[in-house]
């Protein structure tokens, strides 16, 4: 039997999938007016990101189970989107929540999530994906422009999505969007996209540095064996 099925990497993917499934289940079954609104909980970037992260680790786990390099390659490519997005979500959620919870949570959602559920939604995805990235993922490509274009396209798509939901529901998923005018919301989106791209560049550089350090250690070890 292939021992990779019982490796730390497969355990990481399994734990990630279970955690993401738990977080999604808790939120999607939550008794809230959001459930009956247009778009439901998928108006929230957190839920969209968590779903994408779930898909990411599922491809990783399947790749190990069936020995598919294609699945692992797909996982690595999707991760270029999901990892920076999850780090962005963690940073924005933590910072804005600490400043004023009501800027993030609609009054219609009159409930406080238990800490472990909150972590499953806003902390665990970034933590799991970061662990996988530095231990197992391939280095990201040097070409940055295609990534920025992709982030921009998805940012614009989310812009239209939340405004479509607003036109039906009469409120934005995040109250912060109602506090500012259209120009203010546009600025929030632009800054968020640029921060996410900055996260991508930072992680790419860190991954390259870690990989370089590993090569130095391997070369040093090989030299000592020769001596």
List the domain boundaries for the chain.
3-221
Among candidates 24, 140, 135, 170, which has minimal Cα distance to 76? 140
Q: Cβ(103)–Cβ(93) under 8 Å?
A: no
What pLDDT is attached to residue 30?
80
Report how far Cα 74 is from the mean position of its chain's Cα atoms.
16
What does DSSP assign to residue 171?
Answer: S
What pLDDT is attached to residue 221?
43
What pLDDT is attached to residue 101?
86
What pLDDT is attached to residue 68?
93
pTM score: 0.87
What pLDDT is attached to residue 109?
64
- Per run of 10 residues, the mean pLDDT along the chain (length 227 residues) is 68 96 91 85 95 97 94 96 98 93 76 86 97 93 94 97 96 93 96 98 92 49 43
Locate 152 and state its tokens.
Answer: 């921009």
Distance between CA 41 and CA 65 in Å, rounded? Answer: 32
């Amino acid at each position: 039997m292939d021992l990779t099925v019982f490796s730390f990497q497969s355990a990481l993917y399994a734990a990630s999938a279970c955690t993401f499934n738990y977080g999604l289940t808790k939120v999607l079954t939550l008794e809230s007016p959001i459930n009956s609104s247009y778009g439901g909980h998928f108006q929230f970037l957190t839920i969209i990101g968590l779903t994408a992260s779930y898909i990411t680790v599922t491809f990783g786990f399947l790749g190990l189970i069936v020995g598919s390099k294609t699945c692992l390659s797909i996982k690595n490519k999707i991760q270029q989107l999901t990892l920076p997005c999850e780090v962005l979500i963690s940073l924005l959620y933590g910072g804005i929540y600490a400043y004023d919870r009501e800027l993030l949570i609609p009054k219609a959602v009159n409930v406080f999530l238990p800490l472990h559920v909150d972590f499953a939604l806003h902390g665990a995805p970034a933590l799991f994906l970061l662990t996988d990235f530095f231990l197992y993922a391939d280095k990201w490509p040097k070409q940055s422009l295609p990534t920025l274009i992709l982030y921009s396209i998805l940012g614009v798509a989310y812009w239209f999505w939340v405004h479509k939901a607003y036109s039906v529901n009469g409120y934005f998923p995040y109250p912060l969007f109602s506090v500012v005018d259209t120009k203010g919301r546009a600025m929030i989106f632009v800054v968020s996209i640029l921060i996410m791209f900055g996260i991508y560049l930072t992680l790419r550089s860190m991954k390259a540095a870690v990989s370089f350090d590993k090569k130095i250690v391997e070369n040093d070890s090989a030299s000592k064996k020769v001596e």
